[in-house]
Structures are given as structure tokens and as C-alpha cells.
Chain A
Amino acid sequence: MSPVRAARHSLTLARRNLTKFRHTPDQLLDVLLMPVTFVLMFVFLFGNAVSGDWRTYLQFVIPGIAVQALMFATLGTAVSLNTDLRTGIFDRFRSLPVARSAPLVGHILGDALKYVLSIALVFGFGAVLGFRPHGGPQALLAALGLLLAFAFAMCWIATLIGVVARTAEVVQALSLVLIFPFTFGSNVFVPTGKLPGWLQAWVRVNPVTQVSDAVRAFVLDRPAGDSVTWCLLWTVAIIVVFAPLAVLAYRRR
């Protein structure tokens, strides 16, 4: 199976997800509401405590909340994939001369719309509250690219969970157990320097920290340090490890 054909199959299956959003737009509701809730909750709950006033905190926290919103959106991908797998439709795909990876890649690409929407909402709603990016349009695009690339990587972990888990409840439980230490054990909400020493050690290696720092650097036009390199390394590493695992688990299912 040539990569070109595999890509064509994946795109065809991605379109299937988009068509479904068109028929039943209410399945986008969680993706639309979650970013708004996150922004409101964290800015007004922690803003004054962490940064002295919530407006300063808003500048700091919005890029991180974008990463967090993506992490939670991958949960939706895992659940819907798991549900799909338990209907007969995947048997149909697998009995056709279609690339083995296409149903998985198609599912992820089809959900890309959700990811773009949640990023746009976090930044859009942040802007309504007074968030102002300092980088130019190119920097914004670069930040968007980093976020989507990282989301694509996280999707493979979500896909593995979605394929391996027997029920949607197991998917939820496993995903949340992963999402919480990664999003809250990062510098998304509190700058690394304000955390206890032992926690800093974890926060520094956490990919969510690296992605948040890289996005902050682009969006707020601040020095990036080596966060962009780390962000890309993590993205590639996660894909290299988890994409083959997910496809293997899917084949054996």
C-alpha cells in the first residue's frame, strides 16, 4: 500500500467525521464550552493570587490554557474512536482494500477541526477579556503550528487508549489519569519558580510545560530559550512511540 493511497483513504475517512459534525453539530458542544469555562475559571480564580492582578495573569495563562484545552479535546477523540470501534463500521473498513492505518489517521484528522476550534476559542475569548498577543502574524501561525503538531502527537496516545479500552468509561478514566498530572503538573497555571523544588523537577521535563513556554514565547514575543526545540522533540518522540503502538493494537483487535 503506497503512502499516497493511504493518505487518500485517511482523507476520505476524515471527511466522514466532518460530515457528521454537519449533521449533528451538538457533538461540538463540549469542545466549544470547555475553553470558555477554563478561561473564566482560571483567570478569576487564580489570577489575583498568582500574579497580583488578573489582567497580568491573563497574559500568562491564555497560551497554557490553549494547551490544556487540546489535552481535554483528545479525550473526546479517544471516546468517539472507542465507540466507533464497537460498532460494525470498522469491520467494513478493514474488509475493504484500504490502508490499515487509514481509519485511525482519518479519525484524528477529522477531529482536527475540533482542535482548531478550541484553540481559536481560547485565544478569542481571552482577547475579549483583554488578552493581547505581541508577536506578529507569523509568530501566531508558528504558535498554532506547534499547538496542532503537539495535539496530533497526543492524539496517538488517545488513540491507543481508545483502541485498547473495552468501554467508554475505561477510556474516560485512563485519559483523565493521564491528563491531570500533565496539565496541572506543569507551568500552565503557576510559573515554575513559584512551585516546590521536587515539583519543579517534574514540571521542567513535562512536555506540556515546554509547549506552553514555546507558545508563550511566540505569542508574547518573549525569548523562547530551548522550549521550541524541546516541544518539537517531544512531539516527534510521542508520535514515533505511540503511533506504531496504536496501529499495532488496532490490528490485533
Chain B
Amino acid sequence: MTAFVECEGLVKRYGRTTALAGVDLAVPRGTVSGLLGPNGAGKTTVVRILATLLDPDAGAARVGGFSVTEDPERVRGLIGLTGQFAAVDEALTGFENLVLVGRLLELPRRLARARASELVDRFGLTEAAGRLVKTYSGGMRRRLDVAASLVAAPAVLFLDEPTTGLDPRSRGEVWDLVRSLVREGTTVLLTTQYLEEVDQLANGIVVLDEGRVVRTGTPAQLKAAVGGQTLHVRPADHDRLAEVRRIVVAAVRGNLHEQDSPDETSVSVALPPGGSAGAVLAEIGTRLGGAGIEVAELGVRLASLDEVFLALTGQGA
């Protein structure tokens, strides 16, 4: 068996609602897999089943070769879980939260405290460690939550929307953290609503929609399937929009269709997968400069989740 975390035909129903309608999933050891999908797609349900918090109605799930339904105790010894809603105790200090988890894992008091200190330092919470968690910012709380799931140095880490609601800087910090954990050999399954996040972190992607897997592949395959990147230019002077449009169309050499820009103040075009976004950007920059057009915004971004779903399912997320 090559996969360290795997699901086969997972089904979960709540009354008449089918949360999962047969989900297959495989995460090879030491890699990151991203579970991508809109709210209600079933991402959290998959994670809760894998974390032994929920029993599936049908199908099987294994972590490290152990069945989550038949051998939950063994599975719990392998995993760390960071939920969508920070699972830390607000009425305790950050340090006490980490020591509590260590003590529950039956570390001797001295070791539990040492491990807590180590994690507090690693997560940049040294200053705040002695404060009650209810005084923490959202980003600090999330970091503490991730720290708490790492006390046991788990072989598998489940991160359920680890960056939802975080500011860009905190998001970057969580990403750096995931990368360093994977370097140390941790297997990670993360759920997210952001294509950018799986593009940054994941080796494999599973796209979920309404409890079904609609696509699996690598980030590159997914981007190829959904049209990859979008180029976006907004002139400082609204009156020069027509000129900008001409320059952009010329720079991308007419091999792309122009997308509607919703606000009529900018130009957006889809770039083909595999093309050099840098070269196109540089060329547009030069031409705009040559024409003396001031630009308020110029950039390339990944397709949004909406665009991914439009491409994969024919409807928006």
C-alpha cells in the first residue's frame, strides 16, 4: 500500500441530505494533498471521518494502514487535527493549552512543559504564551491551534481550512509552517477554498463538489484544465481604458479571448497554461510605459475557485 491516508467510497448521510456520495482519496506518505471545494462540498465531513470524530455510513478510511472505524485508538495515535474553528480553550493561557495536550498524551509534567515552550517559540507565541487565549488575534489563535495539534509530533496532520479568515501575512506564516512540517516528513491533508493555497502547498489535489470528487490531479494538471492564470490591468486614468485594451491584446498576440471586466475600469484576459506570464507582463509594462499610461494595477493571478468550478462542473462555486 502506497497511500498513508486513504478513503474508499466514503458515504455519509444526515437524514435526507447526502454529505458524501462515495469519496475516494489517497495521500502518499510525506506529501501534501489539498481537498478543494466550496462550502458544503463535504470537505470537513471527510476530515472528521479520517480523524475518527464521525463514522461513515459506507466505505472505508484508513490512516497508516489502520481502519478509522475498527482501530480508532491506533489512528488517534498517528494524527493531529486542526479544525476550522480553533479548538483551543479560551479560558486558559496559550501555554496551558499546550501543556494540557501534552499531559493528555501522558507526557511527564516536565516534558509536557518543555514541549509547550518549544512549540510556543516555534510559532512566535513566546510573548503571548502567558496570556489567556481569549485575548489572542485570529492569526495567533490559529497558530496556537496548529501548535496544539503538533504536540504529539503526529505522522499525519489534518488541517481543515487552516487559513480561512486569516490576513495575508498570517496565511503566509501558516504556509511556511506546512512546508517545514512536510520537509520533516509529515503527511498533510488540508482543506481549502483557495486554489492559490493548494497551488502553493499541495502535491495532489482532490476537487470536491456536493459530496463527490469531480477531479483529481496535480496543481499543474488542474490549472491546465481550468485555464490557469488571468492577467489584469487597471489604468490610473479611466479614459485610457481603450488604449490599454489595444496594448494588452497586442501583447498577448490575439491568441486569447478577452474576458468581461465586471467593473469596466480594467482589462482582464486569461493566459494559456504553460505560457510565460513574466514575458507577457514585461512586454505590457514596456508598451504602457512607452505610451505614457500610468497603471493603478497590473498583475497575474490564479483562477478563482469560482472559475475552477465553472470550468469543471459548468457552474460556479
A residues engaging B (CB < 8 A)? 1, 5, 8-9, 12-13, 15-16, 19-20, 23-24, 87-89, 91-98
Contact = CB atoms under 8 A, between A and B. Distances in A.
Contacts of A93: 104
**Interface SS majority for chain A:** helix
Contact of A8 (B93, B106, B149): B106
A20 B91 contact: yes
A92 B89 CA distance: 10
A13 B91 contact: no
Contact of B81 (A13, A15, A19, A91): A91
Interface in B57-87: 73, 76-77, 79-81, 83-87
B88 interface: yes
Contacts of A9: 104
Contact of B86 (A5, A15, A88, A97): A88
B105 A96 contact: yes
17 contacts: A13-B104, A15-B103, A19-B92, A19-B96, A23-B92, A87-B85, A88-B86, A91-B53, A91-B83, A92-B83, A92-B101, A92-B149, A95-B52, A96-B76, A96-B104, A96-B105, A98-B76
B104 A1 contact: no
Nearest to B51: A95
Contacts of B149: 92
A202 to B, nearest CB: 40
Interface in B110-137: 132
B263 to A, nearest CB: 39
B226 interface: no
Contacts of A1: 73
A88 B104 contact: no
Given A92-B88, A92-B149, 14 more contacts: A5-B106, A16-B100, A23-B92, A24-B91, A87-B87, A88-B88, A89-B88, A92-B83, A93-B104, A95-B76, A96-B101, A96-B104, A97-B73, A97-B76
B100 A94 contact: no
**8 A-B pairs with the lowest CB-CB distances in the bound complex, closest first:** A88-B87, A92-B87, A97-B76, A95-B81, A12-B103, A20-B91, A88-B83, A88-B85
B148 interface: yes
A200 B287 CA distance: 98
B89 A16 contact: yes
Nearest to A21: B91
Contacts of B106: 5, 8
Contacts of B96: 19
A20 B92 contact: yes
B89 to A, nearest CB: 5
B92 A16 contact: yes
Interface string B164-180: 00000000000000000
